[in-house]
Amino acid sequence: MSALLEVDSISVSFDGFRAINNLSFNIGEAELRAVIGPNGAGKTTFMDIVTGKTRPDKGDVKFGTPSKSLLKMNEAQIAREGVGRKFQRPTVFEDQTVAENLTMALKAGRNPFAVLGWRPSKASVARVADLAAEVGLAAQVARKAGELSHGQKQWLEIGMLLAQEPRLLLVDEPAAGMTLAEREQTTALLVRLAETRAVVVVEHDMDFVRRLNCKVTVLHQGSVLAEGSLDHVTRNPDVIEVYLGR
Amino acid sequence: MTRKPFILRNPSILVVLAVLAAFTLVVTALSAAYGNGVIPTSTVKVLGKTLCLALAAVAMDLVWGYLGILSLGQMAFFALGGYLIGQWLMYARTEGIVAASLAQNPIPPTAQELQEGVANQIFGVVGSADLPLVWSFAHSLPLQLLLVVAVPGLLALVFGWLAFRSRVNGVYLSILTQAMTLALALWLFQNDSGFRGNNGLSGLQNIPGLDAVDQATLSVWFLWASALALALAYVLAAWVVSGKFGSVVRAIRDDETRVRFLGYPVEGFKLAVFTLAAMITAIAGALYYPQAGIINPAELMPIASIYLAVWVAIGGRGRLYGAIIGAVVVSLLSSWFTGGRAPAIRLPGYTVNWVDWWQVALGISFVLVTLFAPKGIAGLFDWLAGALPPQRHGRDLGPDQGALQEGEAKA
Amino acid sequence: MIRPLIVLLLTLLSALPASANPALEAVIARNLDQIEKPSRRTVEPLVAEIAATGPEGLALLSAWANRSLGVSDNGRLLIVEGDSATDAVTGQPVPGADLTMLRPNSGVRGVIDSALVAGEISSPDPARRASALASIARDGTAAHLAALRGAPPEADPTLAQQRERATNLLAIRFDTDPAARVAAINGLAGDVGLDFRAALNPLLATTRIAAPAEPQANIVRELTVGDSDFPKEAAIALLTTQGVLQPRLTPADQRNALAANIVNGTVSGIPVADLSDPAARDRAYEALEAAGTVPPAATDAEADAALAANRFFETYAEPNPDVTDAARAAQVRAQVRLAAMTGIDLGLDALSLASIYFLAAIGLAITFGVMRVINMAHGEFIMMGAYTGYVVQTLIPNRTLSLVAALPLAFVVTFGAGVILYRLVIRHLARRPLETLLATFGVSIALQQLAKNIFGTQARPLTAPAWLEGAITINDVISISSIRVAIFVLALLFLGLFLFIMKRTRLGLEVRAVTQNPGMAASMGINPDRIAMMTFGLGSGIAGIAGVAIGLFAQVTSELGQQYIVQSFMTVVVGGVGNIWGTLAGAGLIGILSKVIESFNPSNTLAAQTFMILFIIIFIQFRPRGIIPQRGRAAEA
């Protein structure tokens, strides 16, 4: 299995505190992976590094085939390479309609002049409608995103990620604040998405992770503590010690 | 989503254009040059200048209301435009005068003598007799017109690139833009910067080659030109902020980081809008100063740019027509109150003289508008139209500080 | 032992009756006609003779020089003081004398004065010796040099040093022996006094000459035509002034000559209308030259020939190379030391400027750190403090007392203003910095105009107490005004006070907590609103005190605050927020930078400010969060 994302012994410290310590990590094409770990294990920092928000002190991050280093790129370039990110808190543009939010995320030229010259086509309008339907917001297309409920905003954000057509999707606690039904829907969606692209899910909720039924990486103090199936890692005494508790 | 023509999707454009056209026609019909002279020439000039200020306010609204950058340096571009057109106006006119005076000599002047004469006339006041390098193109109207757009555009591009690249934003960026204006003003204040120090450029109301045309007619021509520029810029600005580009720009205003993660080069968008606004502002300045007749570095002290922000805020930012309303209402009121024509209020024991108290009233009303009517005057139109803002339960529109909050933002 | 004796003797002498000084009597009798009509050239021996006769002689000379000496009908010299006259020799009053006043010209008076000074140098009274030395230092002559050298040894060490210095300075200027001059120069080497540098300058004055061969002179160097400091034009001008070359034709002369020779609309056959072309003008002029109507002007070829035939030298006016070498070396040493001292002086200036910026910016930095808002009315709080100082001064006439009262009062007034501003405006715009910026700007213009309405537009004086006036002067170069030292001390005081409040008090702890995490602080029972109000008041109060300090040396006008606000912003931005040391570093950097840039071109402070702002814009590129940034994950958000 060739790796889509290769994180090679990265370290980063904030003010002397080592958030990530010599972390190595690989994701293959079309792989679903769950990352768990106690608070402060470096989960969010790891995402920040992959998406270009934080620069590591050392190490390298390679992405794609042929692989390119992501460290020399800024956030926007990384996003254009095909790395999408879903934040913990839903971040959509509340002042704009659902359609506008989705249109902005559609895969298309991103430079200012291309955007200035961009005009909606039949295909783009249809794609926006499809995406809205897929995330269950078909009836809300013309409403402002700010008027949506918390769960709907989460879905809109996922819809925007889909519109970006990323090759790697980083999802930060997708189930937070969702109802049971919404969680099941989210699980199904993530599993389906992972058929065509790599998905990394950061989650605390063990039931949710179990339902994803995928390989699990446990982070602790900025490095990998254990890796394998959920059953495998939950039996690991180290993991029980630092994370699950006795 | 069906595609209607651009104009129809933005009915406010038609309203603004119609009002502008009606205004221009009425003023023309009442002017001394083309009508019954009810409006004196000086008032026509004031109205023409007001249109230019409205144009600058539209550009300010693009930068602030849509892009979310509170630029406290917009008037630097305005004054630069004025200086650049002023160079040609002053050079060409002085050249005419010097040529006429040298023609009195028995021997016709050489090109060099003519240039030396012009330089002496223009720069004698700062004790210099050489034409500075920055005046190299002053003899040519087309070149100087090109510079009116190119120089402020380039300045905005370089400054914006430096500032946006290092991700300076919010209050820091505002202070930095203010510093830029101040630096430019201080530079222009020097006698050896080549722009006549604090004397500035003067006599700009006389247009070379149009000596036969009286000021009454010229003032109406400039009013037309200003109205036309405002109309064109309004349509351009409205077009830019509609559609996907406008979507992205407003998204940057509300949550810059999120836009980056969508893959948009945020700096490029900021730079494009900032530069465009600088160019529009420069054109406004180039139309303004021939009507004002004089320009000096005091015009671009930071306070002027802050006033521009005040107009846009009072008019209603994030709405192009709001910017126009604010600029027109506040600047006309200001000139009325400070012109000494407003009747004084006689209180027992004290007479409120508006020349002294207008600034205080303006300052206080500005605080009140910021506190109680963040949508400005344009908010009235929403209220009349019954268009209520989306219910966001008082949350920020974005995680960044300075993002618009509920009750202020509206596309 | 000796001195009291002399004094006693002098008292006795002056108490003696008429004809107390026969020597003087004799000199006067011999030279009366020369005293009445003195000549500058010949008077010197006479003056020396009179001076040698003792105190009466000196008194006579001094009266003569002051034009208060008259000669009576009977040939007696009388000293006139107001309405009374005394006999110059006997000291007896002469009532109702019929006098002709003597009016020696300035040259003669100069001679008398130097003789007097020379006499004074040997005076037994140290004060008079000191004043004589000072007078020589001001305006010395060759005669003084001789007098100084001939004077008895000086007992007072300070005066001895001064005298040696004066002797050396005079020797540099007037000594005829080159070796002595060199010795004098070397004796003063390392001195940076203005007078020493002034004495060296004429020695090193140079002139440029053109000559076919190396001249017999003290040559500095040979010049090469075309060097940056000796362009061809300069060489030609030099040749013209020396008469080697005909003056070249200026365009104006050419035009006038042509205009004088217009015949039937043409000049030498060239139509006047064509003469707008310089080439046509040259042709016309050459034609006139050929016809002999106009004098020939130097052509380029002639100029080149003259240039080729001559060499150019820079020579010292002073003929002796030993002297010029010594002077040059001394000048270089003086310049090096001078540069070092100027550097120290610059450092002091920068320090005082930095203290002012620090005082002005510290309040801004506190409020920015805690609330992330920029208070545009901060400058007006500074102004308010200055006006408070002014008002207090009109009420309390004692300046020291009024200053002592004004400082806390300014703090109270601006603290109150800050709290009111916070309660009425800023609280309602929480977490919206841009809106706060604009709203406080509204407050700023209202306050400014209010101050204009109340205090008028003209500047109001805020005068420092006498003990703060003047300057601490170390030498000719290094000096700093006392007010600035006081402001520096004040800034240090506030740094200390601020650190104390922040690190040692409950308020400081709560402020730091709110700065780092307002939400967390609130859940610990700290009221962020109250803390914000207190810090805002504190910041404003410090601005008021800064206002009093600034008012002491600047004009108090309604625009006072505006002059400091941008620099204060810069200080905050450059230093970084949320940290007092950042503000200190920012103020230091901006203070030093302004002074250093200013020192490159002291006459153009505008350029200095422009460059400083440009520097800051560039600086922000590399340290977007300032010199001492706020760190940690909270700052990233």
Q: Please tell me which residue of chain C has the smallest CA distance to B313.
A: C438
With an 8 Å Cβ cutoff, is B178 touching chain C? yes
Q: Please tell me which residue of chain A has the smallest CA distance to C633.
A: A14
Say whether B264 and A76 touch across the interface (CB within 8 A). yes
C210 sits in which H/E element: strand C206-211
Question: C450 to chain B: which residues are within 8 Å by CB?
Answer: 360
Neighbours of chain C (3+ CB pairs under 8 A): A, B
Could you read off the pLDDT of A191-226 as tens digits, one per residue? 888 888 899 998 877 888 888 888 888 888 888 888
With an 8 Å Cβ cutoff, is B157 touching chain A? no
Measure A32 CA to nearest chain C CA, in Å. 29
Question: C631 to chain A: which residues are within 8 Å by CB?
Answer: 14-15
Partnered with residue A169 across adjacent β-strands are A84, A199
Residue A21's φ and ψ, nearest 5 degrees, are -125, 100
Measure B344 CA to nearest chain C CA, in Å. 15
Q: Please tell me which residue of chain C has the smallest CA distance to B193.
A: C607
Residue B411: predicted pLDDT: 36
Q: Which of A165, A200, A218 is the last residue of a domain?
A: A165
Residue B39's φ and ψ, nearest 5 degrees, are -95, 120
Q: Where are the domains of chain C?
A: 2-121, 145-203, 206-248+298-316, 251-286, 339-636
CB interface of A with C, residues 153-192, below 8 Å: none
Residues A153 and A99 placed together within one structural domain of the fold: yes
The b/e string for B357-371 (b: 16+ C-beta within 10 A; e otherwise) is bbbbebbebbbebbe
Question: C448 to chain B: which residues are within 8 Å by CB?
Answer: 359
With an 8 Å Cβ cutoff, is B269 touching chain A? yes
Q: How far apart are the C-alpha atoms of C47 and C116, rounded to whole Å?
A: 9
- Average pLDDT, stretch B361-368? 88
Is residue A178 included in any domain, yes or no? yes
What type of residue is C323? V
Measure B170 CA to nearest chain C CA, in Å. 7
* Structural domain span for residue A30: 1-82+166-246
N- to C-terminal Cα separation, chain C: 87
Strands (E) in B73-162, as ranges, are none
Q: Which of A101, A132, A165 is the last residue of a domain?
A: A165
Neighbours of B6 (CB within 10 A): 13
Residues A64 and A77 placed together within one structural domain of the fold: yes
Q: Please tell me which residue of chain A has the smallest CA distance to C631.
A: A15
Is residue B226 included in any domain, yes or no? yes
Q: Which of A65, A103, A63 lies closest to A79 in space, CA to CA? A: A63
CB interface of B with C, residues 61-80, below 8 Å: 70
Q: In this structure, are strands A3-14 and A58-63 parallel, antiparallel, or unpaired?
A: antiparallel
| CATH number of the domain enclosing A187 | 3.40.50.300
Q: How far apart are the C-alpha atoms of B374 and B409, rounded to whole Å?
A: 9
Is residue A184 included in any domain, yes or no? yes
Is residue A110 included in any domain, yes or no? yes
How does residue B23 score in pLDDT terms, banded at 50, 70 and 90?
A: very high
Strands (E) in C119-170, as ranges, are none
With an 8 Å Cβ cutoff, is B236 touching chain A? no
Partnered with residue C311 across adjacent β-strands are C211
Token pair, residue C336, equals 């090096």
Residues in chain B: 411
Residues in chain C: 637
Q: In what order do the strands lie in the sheet with C311-316?
A: C206-211, C311-316, C219-223
Task: Report residue A29 CA to chain centroid gap.
Answer: 15
A219 sits in which H/E element: strand A215-220
Q: Which of C285, C268, C286, C258 lies closest to B109 in space, CA to CA? A: C258
**DSSP assignment of C240-295, as one string?**
HHTTSSPPPPPHHHHHHHHHHT-BTTEETTEEGGGGGSHHHHHHHHHHHHHHTSS-
With an 8 Å Cβ cutoff, is B254 touching chain A? yes
Q: Are C322 and C178 in contact (CB under 8 A)?
A: yes
Q: In this structure, are strands C311-316 and C206-211 parallel, antiparallel, or unpaired?
A: antiparallel
Q: How far apart are the C-alpha atoms of B284 and B308, rounded to whole Å?
A: 13
Question: B359 to chain C: which residues are within 8 Å by CB?
Answer: 445-446, 448-449
Token pair, residue C2, equals 């000796």
Could you read off the pLDDT of C24-49 as tens digits, one per residue? 888 887 887 788 788 777 787 888 78
Q: Of the ranges A111-115, B242-246, C240-244, which one carries the lowest mean pLDDT score? A: C240-244
Look at A38 and C2; give whichever has higher pLDDT: A38
Could you read off the pLDDT of A137-147 as tens digits, one per residue? 888 888 888 88
- Average pLDDT, stretch B288-317? 89
Token pair, residue A85, equals 């990110």
- Average pLDDT, stretch B116-138? 84
* Structural domain span for residue B277: 6-385
Q: Which of B65, B69, B61, B62 lies closest to B256 in space, CA to CA? A: B69
Q: Of the ranges A111-115, B25-29, B320-324, C322-326, which one carries the lowest mean pLDDT score? A: C322-326
Helix (H/G/I), strand (E/B), else coil: A166: coil
**DSSP assignment of B287-317, as one string?**
HHHHHH-EE-GGGGSHHHHHHHHHHHHHH-T
Dihedral sign for Cα atoms in the order B113, B115, B117, B123:
negative
Q: How far apart are the C-alpha atoms of C441 and C437, rounded to whole Å?
A: 6
What type of residue is B223? L
Helix (H/G/I), strand (E/B), else coil: C473: strand
Residue B408: predicted pLDDT: 44
Q: Which of C202, C205, C204, C217 lies closest to C311 in space, CA to CA? A: C217
Of B1, B250, B264, Cβ closest to residue A96: B250
Residue C19: predicted pLDDT: 54
Measure C364 CA to nearest chain B CA, in Å. 13
Q: Are B315 and B324 in contact (CB under 8 A)?
A: yes
Q: How far apart are the C-alpha atoms of B54 and C583, rounded to whole Å?
A: 39
Is residue A87 included in any domain, yes or no? no
Is residue B127 included in any domain, yes or no? yes
Q: Please tell me which residue of chain A has the smallest CA distance to B407.
A: A95
Count H helices and E strands in chain B, helices first. 15, 4
The overall average pLDDT reported for chain A is: 85
Q: How far apart are the C-alpha atoms of A100 and A143, rounded to whole Å?
A: 10
Helix (H/G/I), strand (E/B), else coil: A164: helix
With an 8 Å Cβ cutoff, is B285 touching chain C? no
Fold of C339-636: ABC transporter involved in vitamin B12 uptake, BtuC (1.10.3470)
Residues A78 and A1 placed together within one structural domain of the fold: yes
Q: Please tell me which residue of chain B has the smallest CA distance to A78.
A: B263
Residues A64 and A178 placed together within one structural domain of the fold: yes
How does residue B2 score in pLDDT terms, banded at 50, 70 and 90?
A: very low
Token pair, residue B388, equals 């209520």
Return the axis-axis angle of helices C580-600 and C321-371, rounded to nearest 10°: 150
Say whether C606 and B370 touch across the interface (CB within 8 A). no
Residues of chain C with pLDDT under 70: 1-20, 298, 578, 630-637
Measure A147 CA to nearest chain C CA, in Å. 22
Is residue A26 included in any domain, yes or no? yes
With an 8 Å Cβ cutoff, is B9 touching chain A? no
Q: Are C459 and C554 in contact (CB under 8 A)?
A: no
Of B190, B303, B402, Cβ closest to residue C434: B402
Q: How far apart are the C-alpha atoms of C192 and C189, rounded to whole Å?
A: 9
Q: Are B71 and B63 in contact (CB under 8 A)?
A: yes
Could you read off the pLDDT of B208-239 as tens digits, one per residue? 888 888 888 999 999 999 999 999 999 999 99
Could you read off the pLDDT of C368-419 as tens digits, one per residue? 877 778 888 999 999 999 999 999 999 988 888 898 899 999 999 999 999 9
With an 8 Å Cβ cutoff, is A118 touching chain C? no
Residue B175's φ and ψ, nearest 5 degrees, are -65, -35
Which ranges of A25-149 would DSSP assign to H, the alpha helix?
43-50, 75-81, 98-105, 112-117, 122-134
Q: Please tell me which residue of chain B has the smallest CA distance to C559.
A: B303
What type of residue is C42? T
Q: What percent of chain B has pLDDT over 90?
A: 40
Q: How many CA atoms lie within 13 A of C8 on its CB side?
A: 5
Of A79, A95, A146, Cβ closest to residue B262: A79
Question: B243 to chain A: which residues are within 8 Å by CB?
Answer: 116, 118-119
Question: B244 to chain A: which residues are within 8 Å by CB?
Answer: 103-104, 115, 118, 120
Question: C632 to chain A: which residues are within 8 Å by CB?
Answer: 14-15
Token pair, residue C383, equals 């102004």
Q: Which of A42, A43, A50 lies closest to A20 in space, CA to CA? A: A42
Of B247, B263, B269, Cβ closest to residue A112: B269
Residue C471's φ and ψ, nearest 5 degrees, are -140, 155
Mutate to test the interface with C, among A15, A49, A87 (most CBs of C within 10 A): A15
Torsion angle, alpha carbons of B155, B159, B160, B163, to 10: 180
For chain A, what percentages of helix, strand and coil (3-state, to nearest 5) are there?
40, 25, 35
Residue appearing with tokens 């308020």: C507
Does residue B407 surpass a pLDDT of 50?
Answer: no
Mutate to test the interface with B, among C270, C373, C613 (most CBs of B within 10 A): C613
Say whether A110 and B265 touch across the interface (CB within 8 A). yes
Number of residue pairs across B and C with CB atoms under 8 Å?
A: 168
Residue B404: predicted pLDDT: 44
Rg of chain C in Å (alpha carbons): 38
In total, how many domains does chain B have? 1
Of B110, B190, B365, Cβ closest to residue C278: B110
Question: B260 to chain A: which residues are within 8 Å by CB?
Answer: 74-76, 79
Of A91, A104, A144, Cβ closest to residue B247: A104
Q: Please tell me which residue of chain B has the smallest CA distance to A112.
A: B269
How does residue B405 score in pLDDT terms, banded at 50, 70 and 90?
A: very low
Question: C610 to chain B: which residues are within 8 Å by CB?
Answer: 183, 186-187, 190
Helix (H/G/I), strand (E/B), else coil: C151: coil
Say whether B255 and A144 touch across the interface (CB within 8 A). no
Mutate to test the interface with A, among C516, C628, C631, C633 (most CBs of A within 10 A): C633
CB interface of C with A, residues 548-567, below 8 Å: none
- Average pLDDT, stretch B345-362? 82
Look at B82 and B242; give whichever has higher pLDDT: B82
Measure C527 CA to nearest chain A CA, in Å. 27
Helix (H/G/I), strand (E/B), else coil: B269: helix
